[in-house]
Amino acid sequence: MDPLAWFFNDADVGRATMAAPIEDLEPPVLVVNYKVYPTALGERALSLTRELEEAAASYPDATLAIAPSHPDVGAVAQASDLPVLAQHADGHRPGSGTGRVLPESLSDRGAIGSLINHAERQVTEKEANRSVDRLTEKGMAVIACAEDVEVTRTMASLEPTYVAMEPPELIGGDVSVTSADPGIIEDSLEAAQEIDPDARILCGAGVKDAEDVAKARDLGAEGVLVASGVTKAEDPTQAARDLLRGAVEPAATLEGSEK
């Protein structure tokens, strides 16, 4: 097959006839965002991925997906069977657009989808709309990030695979959104489903352990988006195992239990 075939097969499908797919991200889902942490770049990204594969094998009833930095997407996807997401994708089409990240190139390198509008890589509503359109027409999953209930409502209107609610003030901290503001998860789900009854949400920011994940599930989230809790952990395999345990076990069975 011509490796550039996708370049010349660019039919305009759009969300009216195709919703963002969920097959590769069946809930409960744990998404580990590698960001650009030194512990998750280049060869270290491959090492971290191997550790996360070990964790995922212990919990086959949950989905563990990973989002390496853009330069590492191809190598990580080639080396692993875990679902690989990009950290951002643009809504541009092939052609002029220096520095743009195209869904075609991500898919060609093995990514099954992308995050968009992360708090550290925010876009306008128009840009988010274009990104969701382009990713969806290529059959790719979309996790659209939101910082509050209103943005959750906006992102839900774009019909992504998931909306990920992450209060920016809690990202990278030691206090989980499930403890600091559990109501925002319930309110976000309600707001999203007012727009799209089939909307699914994830949550993130400060999520560190099994109890945090189980609480998120109890509040209506289909899973969590994490980063430093795994990528900066002394033992990433164990950190991921603990989070996956929370994805499949009820919160009541985890309270006061040892990790």
Q: How far is CA 150 from the centre of its chain?
A: 19
Residues 31 and 171 sit within 8 Å (Cβ to Cβ): no
Alpha carbons 88 and 85: distance in angstroms, whole number: 9
For 87-114, give one letter per residue: b (16+ CB within 10 A) or e: bbbbbbbeeeeeeebbbbbbbbbbbbbb
- Residue 242, classed as helix, strand or coil, is helix
Between CA 185 and CA 178 the distance in angstroms is 8
Q: Give the number of C-alpha atoms closer than 13 A to the C-alpha of residue 106, restricted to the C-beta side.
A: 33
Catalytic residues: 118, 166
Beta strands in the chain, from DSSP E residues, in sequence order? 29-33, 63-67, 85-86, 113-116, 141-146, 162-165, 201-204, 223-226
Both tokens of 234, joined, read 């002394």
As a whole number of Å, the CA-based R_g of the chain is: 17
List C-alpha distances in Å: 122 to 4, 47, 114, 125, 182: 30, 29, 13, 9, 23
Q: At what angle do helices 236-248 and 43-57 cross, to 10 degrees?
A: 40
